[in-house]
Every structure is written in C-alpha cells, then in structure tokens.
Amino acid sequence: MAKTSEFVLSERLEVSTSSTAVNGTIDLGAYIDVGDSQGVMIKQVDFIWQGVTSAGAAQALSLAVTANGVGQCQVFDLNRGGTEQFADDNALVASGQIHYGYDENTVSNDADIFPDRFGRPGGRVVINDNLYVTTNWTGAIASNEKVSCTVLVTCVITKLSKKDFMALAISSSASSE
C-alpha cells in the first residue's frame, strides 16, 4: 500500500573517457523505516543522455561525441562494485542503453529491464539505504567534453507486512555470486 504520492529522485553521472565506468549512488535512507516495515517502491526509471561542454553546460549529445557510440547505464539495489552486470542479477533494478550514429546523426535507445520485472505488481520494492548507478560510454568523446547520463527514479513510499519485509531483507542482503 502506497503511503505517499509519487516523487522523483535523480543522479547525474558524467563520462569523460570512453569505456571507463562512472559510479554514483541515490540515497534512500530517509525513506526506509525498518521498524515500520516501510520501503520504497520504484515505479519507473528514465535515462536521459546529454553532452556536456568544457565549461560544464548542457549541450546536445551530438556536439560532445566525435564518432558512433553506445551508452549503458544500470541501477542496482546492492553494490556490485561499479561494474556492469548481466540481466539475470536480481539486484538489477533498471538498465538502459542509447545508440548514437554519428555519421547518420541517428539515436535509438533500449530499456532492457524495467523496475517491475523482478518485483511485485506496480513496481520494484527496495529496502536498502542506497541505489547504485553505473554508466559508461563506448565511443570517442570530444576533447574536454563529456557525456552525461541523468537517472530519474519515480517512486512512492510503501508499507509492507512484517513477513514481506523480512523476506525482502533476507533476499536483499544475499550475494548472487
């Protein structure tokens, strides 16, 4: 049962070197309450790709790259060490890609995993204090410029039964290695 209206949390990561992963976190600690069996239900995750000028201003992606490229971004509810993981990892909350065709000036994107794929109807419930974000760009980036990926997480605070909260706590702390 949702206890709040939808709200959005965000994290922006900037990649300056091709094929080098950049990592960040989204703090959920203020929204999780163990005593009240309260968690965060993630309803939607959006990935927004932009270019960044040498002065740090937003610009079109096409101005920041100098060749064909692919951006990948993944969001986890467990720390996976800042590396990309396969889609069968149960800690994977959302994953997306963007494909940029420099010569044709074309863009396409893929949302690989949505928040409700491994969760309950309506969204993915998380009870950990952080979401972990990993992104990278494969392709040439213009000198002194960057590629930015902004992750927007739409969620609500939800109340779980004690039994459901405990089951989620056990599975959320387990390693998938």
Question: What digits encode the pLDDT tens for the residues 2-40?
Answer: 788 999 999 999 999 888 999 999 999 999 999 899 999
Cβ count within 10 A of residue 57:
9
Strand ranges of the sheet holding 92-101, from the earlier edge strand across to the other edge: 22-27, 130-138, 69-76, 92-101, 106-113
Confirm whether 100 is domain-assigned: yes
- Residue with more model confidence, 116 or 42: 42
In a domain, 132, yes or no: yes
The verdict on residue 153 lying in a domain is yes
* 120 pLDDT more than 70: no
Decide if 1 is inside a domain.
Answer: no
pTM of the predicted protein model: 0.90
Whole-number Å distance between alpha carbons of 51 and 37: 41
The percentage of residues in the chain with a pLDDT greater than 90, rounded to a whole number, is 71
- Residue ranges making up the domain that contains 73: 7-173
Mean pLDDT of the 64-90 span: 93
Whether 2 maps to a domain, the answer reads: no
